[in-house]
Amino acid sequence: MNYNNLITNYNNGITTITINRPKKLNALNQETIKELHNAFKEANLDTNTKVIILTGSGEKAFVAGADISEFANFSVEEGEHLAANGHKILFDYIENLSTPVIAAVNGFALGGGLELAMACHFRVASNNAKMGLPEVSLGVIPGYGGTQRLPQLIGKGRALEMIMTATMIDANKALSYGLVNNVTAQEELLPFCETIAQKITQNSSVAIAEAIKAVNANSKDGVNGFDVEIKGFGKCFGTEDFTEGTTAFLEKRKAEFPGR
């Protein structure tokens, strides 16, 4: 599919989705949000794609936030709808995708940009990256999951400090907080993410999908994550991947997972 605001590229089991509005620091307008939904859906349905990498174009920004020019005149109802729709079609959608998603944070990840990175399964940043939730400086709060995912990732005190001060942290502080898993030089960011992605592609995609579901259950209200884990564990025993994985181990060879 062709997109106005995205570039997608497939190579060796990995689909890279690049948000491509560099003149607006890749800010998320509504069209981009819809296109991202479609691109993630398409990659998730593609059985060749085992990992998705999400990044921003240019050297300056991953995503500098939701597009402020689009919501500056919104009413209470429009504001609520904007957040609810974003959660549904993009942020929760990515978090619950069965294909692993790595955020390659290549510069500013602010507001909706950091929220987008946090909806991904994990994050790697380049050393020029800067992250923050500056919404209260605009008179609003984070509305795409930031008040929930940031405390989950870095703890309540640090999250509230970042939200209340509206200031940015650099890549090394993000690393020390556990907000990103690794920091690389800018030119190394995508190759580094691709190396991690390649390791993931060697493993059972059906088992990985069950692991994502079980880990996500940890933060869902009214859901017992241990029960989800037990069910997912049992389900794996009925897959061709499990037969192949265990047989290959016993035959002392590398598994070739069919992904079923």
Q: Does 90 bind ligand COA (CB under 6 A)?
A: no
Q: How far is the CB of 26 from ligand COA (least distance, A)?
A: 9
Nearest to residue 107, comparing CAs of 183, 8, 197, 31? 183
Pick the binder of ligand COA from 7, 68, 200, 248 (CB under 6 A). Answer: 68
The interface with ligand COA within residues 149-168 (CB under 6 A) comprises: none
172-181 as b/e: b if 16+ CB within 10 A = ebbbebebbe
Coil, helix or strand at residue 169? strand
Nearer to ligand COA, 3 or 108 (CB): 108
The interface with ligand COA within residues 99-128 (CB under 6 A) comprises: 108, 110-112
Pick the binder of ligand COA from 6, 14, 17, 27 (CB under 6 A). Answer: 27
Q: Does 65 bind ligand COA (CB under 6 A)?
A: yes
Q: How far is the CB of 77 from ligand COA (least distance, A)?
A: 18
Coil, helix or strand at residue 168? coil
Q: How far is the CB of 176 from ligand COA (least distance, A)?
A: 22
Nearest to residue 32, comparing CAs of 54, 56, 5? 5
Q: How far is the CB of 57 from ligand COA (least distance, A)?
A: 13
Q: Does 24 bind ligand COA (CB under 6 A)?
A: yes
Coil, helix or strand at residue 14? strand
Active site residues: 115, 135
x/- mask, ligand COA, residues 187-226, rule CB under 6 A, reads: ----------------------------------------
Q: Is 158 exposed, middle or buried (0-12, 13-18, 19+ CB in 10 A)?
A: middle
Q: Three-class SS string for 183-227? A: EECHHHHHHHHHHHHHHHHCCCHHHHHHHHHHHHHCCCCCCCHHH
Q: How far is the CB of 136 from ligand COA (least distance, A)?
A: 10
Helix (H) or strand (E) holding 163: helix 156-165
Q: How far is the CB of 142 from ligand COA (least distance, A)?
A: 8
Q: Does 53 bind ligand COA (CB under 6 A)?
A: no
Pick the binder of ligand COA from 53, 66, 131, 154 (CB under 6 A). Answer: 66
Distances (CA, A) of 109 to 34, 117, 247: 19, 8, 44
Q: Does 64 bind ligand COA (CB under 6 A)?
A: yes
Say which DSSP state 254 is in: -
Q: Can you count the helices (H) and strands (E) in the chain?
A: 12, 10
3-state helix, strand, coil in the chain (%, to 5): 50, 15, 30
Q: Does 146 bind ligand COA (CB under 6 A)?
A: no
Q: Which range of residues in 8-16, 31-39, 83-91, 131-139 is near ligand COA by CB under 6 A?
A: 131-139
Residues that bind ligand COA (CB under 6 A): 24-25, 27, 64-69, 108, 110-112, 134-135, 138
